[in-house]
Amino acid sequence: MIPYPEIDPNLISIGPIHIRWYGFMYVLGFFAAYFLIQKQKRAREIGLVGVIAQDLVFYLAIGLVIGARLGYVLFYQYHDYVTYLKNPLEIIATWHGGMSFHGGLLGAALAGWLFCRRKKLPFPAVADCVFVTVPVGLGLGRIGNFINGELWGRTTNVPWAMIFPGGGPLPRHPSQLYESLGEGFLLFILLWKLRQRSFRDGMMVVFFLLFYGIVRFFLEFFREPDPQLGFLAGYFTMGQLLCLAMILGATILAYAIQHGKPGKSA
């Protein structure tokens, strides 16, 4: 067993002001997206550089935060709807914790679509350039989860198991680190390589949805289910069910792209 490295979740504390590692990881993820988007040939072809790229990332950040919070309320707290009806401000209370990746994905996608309409940019091409960069933010976010000592794994006796504060006395999988590696680093390397090949616009989105869905579905077997939901449909977590929806969505989108008008991606 490896001792859990208890790191102060607050990166900087000045009086009542606290800058947390988790929020800092979000900021790093958006900065990485801003620079990596502009490194892509397709982004330069459609003019997704400079101020335009900066504005896009701003839209995506707003959409992601709103979508992530609403997604958490809808996907993971739907059984407690009475509380939110009585206290609607709780819906936006991100400081209480609770963000959903799948909700954030939908929110960012909607914000990106609105941005493309406003700037008259091709949404499939822009989406390709953005989705290639998403795993960087995901990997950093999972490290933030690890520092917070949250979203820990299931109990285990593997040599690298850890006892998490708030996770009880039994050793658990450091599943946040598994996800940071699989959903973050490895997925980014794969997508960054694939982007160099010639595909129709929109196919990088397909690859992200497909590979993320598969990787996250597998890694969920090491992660403790959300306590308020437990297992659904017998043995699956909410995260796994949402990943199955992603895989299905990737399949439908790939079919639509292959039978639509040609468009290139690079």
What pLDDT, in 10s, does the model give residues 146-199?
999 999 999 999 999 999 998 999 999 999 999 999 999 999 999 999 999 989
Q: What percent of the chain has pLDDT over 90?
A: 69
Write down the domain spans for the chain. 18-258
| 3-class secondary-structure state, position 12 | strand
- Is residue 46 predicted with pLDDT exceeding 50? yes
Range in 66-80, 114-128, 132-146 the model is least confident about: 66-80
**CA–CA gap between residue 28 and residue 227 (Å, rounded):** 30
pLDDT band at 266 (very low <50, low <70, confident <90, very high): very low
| 3-class secondary-structure state, position 75 | helix
Range in 39-43, 64-68, 181-185 the model is least confident about: 64-68
Q: 5: burial class by Cβ within 10 Å (0-12, 13-18, 19+)?
A: exposed
Length of the chain, please? Answer: 266
pLDDT of residue 261: 64
> Binding site membership: which residues?
142
- Is residue 84 predicted with pLDDT exceeding 80? no
CB 99 within 8 A of CB 77: no
pTM as predicted: 0.89
User: What amino acid occupies position 61?
Assistant: A
CB 200 within 8 A of CB 262: yes
**CA–CA gap between residue 188 and residue 195 (Å, rounded):** 11
Candidates 72, 30, 26; CA nearest to 242 is 72
> Residue 59: how many CA atoms within 13 Å on its side-chain side?
21
- The secondary structure element, H or E, covering residue 13 is strand 10-14
**CA–CA gap between residue 196 and residue 76 (Å, rounded):** 37
Q: Look-up: residue for tokens 């989105």? A: 205
Candidates 166, 224, 185, 183; CA nearest to 4 is 166
Q: For residue 198, which phi and psi values (nearest 5 degrees)? A: -90, 115
Candidates 198, 200, 197; CA nearest to 255 is 200
CB 22 within 8 A of CB 145: yes
